[in-house]
Structures are given as C-alpha cells and as structure tokens.
Amino acid sequence: MTPRRLATVIRELRERKSLTQEELAKRAKITRSHLSLLEAGHRKNPSLDVLKRLARALGVPVGELLE
C-alpha cells in the first residue's frame, strides 16, 4: 500500500460519508492535522491503532483502507 493510495481511500470514504476532516478526526480521536497529512500522502505508515480508529469512524473494516 503506497501512501498515495491510502490517502485516496481515506479521502474518498470521508467524502462519501459527507464528513469534514475535522469531523472525521474527532470521530477517530486523532488531530485534524494528522488526518490532513495522511490524506495528502505526507504521513507514511500510520500505526495500526490509527488505522483501526479511522476504519471504525468511517464504518468500514480496516482491510478496506488497505485494499
């Protein structure tokens, strides 16, 4: 999984749910700046904990973020 691919998946899922970065960050209990860096592809290799939080907040299995 490349950082760009993960960034695209997170952004597309967030937009499908009509969530702002701020809203998703709050739901996932991460900072908006961390989410922004992930979506921009600048933060590489997020921890499993962060991936789980994002998946839970988006209502998808972790594997969907990594496909």
Q: Where are the domains of the chain?
A: 3-66
Q: What is the pLDDT of residue 54?
A: 98
- Indicate whether this model's pTM tops 0.85: yes
Please, are residues 49 and 59 in contact by the beta-carbon 8 Å criterion?
no
For residue 66, name the pLDDT band (cuts at 50, 70, 90): confident
3-66: CATH architecture: Orthogonal Bundle (1.10)
